[in-house]
């Protein structure tokens, strides 16, 4: 130790100098680690920026793909809604798989020759089912329901048409074989 160091040591400052030396060493280590951390952070930010660019490109492609697939999604939703509605008719009537196929074919067939969608046809079928009509009676009456709804010039939808026809048949104690006759009379009244 130099004479100044001996003097400081004699005064009790030797411990302080040693403490300062140790602290400055630790501070240098912290500074180095911070510098390394800054470089790592800059690297990470560069990676994040590259990822954002890739995500923007991917998101743009996804949006473009979505725009192209939107009609397909709408068709899938419509088909799902149709099958769900048809499932309610099946549940009410306790229809078999064979009867389910007949109901599905009838709803699609009536939709093809009318202005209504298959799901709308099924809504009329459902109303018939809730009035206690059998699967066969529902199938027999489906076209007449669409005819009455069409003849009403928008006053009746298929669900209401089913209610009106079913109510008339039940009120007069008629079975579904009289559906066309009932619809003809209802159309003449309107």
Q: Please say whether the beta carbons of 158 and 146 come within 8 A.
A: yes
Instruction: Using the structure block, give the residue that is written with the tokens 């709308």.
Output: 120
Q: What is the pLDDT of residues 2-56, one digit of tens each?
A: 555 555 555 554 544 454 555 556 556 655 665 555 565 556 555 555 555 555 5
Q: What is the pLDDT of residues 138-174, one digit of tens each?
A: 999 999 999 999 998 888 888 899 899 999 999 999 9
Q: Where are the domains of the chain?
A: 73-189
Q: What is the pLDDT of residues 72-90, one digit of tens each?
A: 555 555 566 788 888 889 9
Q: Please say whether the beta carbons of 168 and 160 come within 8 A.
A: no
Q: Please say whether the beta carbons of 159 and 117 come within 8 A.
A: no
Q: Please say whether the beta carbons of 95 and 138 come within 8 A.
A: no
pTM for this model (two decimals)? 0.59
């Amino acid at each position: 130790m130099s004479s100044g160091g001996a003097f400081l040591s004699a005064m009790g400052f030797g411990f302080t100098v040693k403490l300062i030396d140790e602290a400055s060493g630790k501070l240098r280590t912290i500074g180095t680690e911070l510098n390394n951390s800054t470089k790592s952070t800059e690297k990470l930010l560069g990676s994040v920026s590259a990822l954002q660019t890739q995500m923007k490109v991917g998101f743009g492609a996804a949006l473009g793909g979505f725009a192209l697939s939107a009609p397909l999604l709408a068709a899938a939703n419509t088909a799902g809604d149709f099958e769900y509605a048809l499932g309610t008719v099946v549940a009410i009537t306790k229809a078999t798989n064979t009867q389910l196929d007949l109901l599905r074919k009838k709803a699609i067939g009536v939709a093809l020759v009318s202005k209504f969608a298959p799901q709308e046809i099924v809504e009329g079928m459902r109303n018939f089912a809730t009035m206690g009509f059998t699967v066969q009676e529902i199938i027999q009456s489906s076209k007449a329901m669409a005819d009455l709804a069409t003849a009403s010039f928008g006053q009746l939808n298929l669900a209401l048409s089913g209610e009106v026809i079913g109510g008339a048949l039940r009120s007069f104690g008629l079975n579904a074989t009289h559906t066309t006759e009932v619809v003809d009379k209802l159309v003449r009244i309107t």
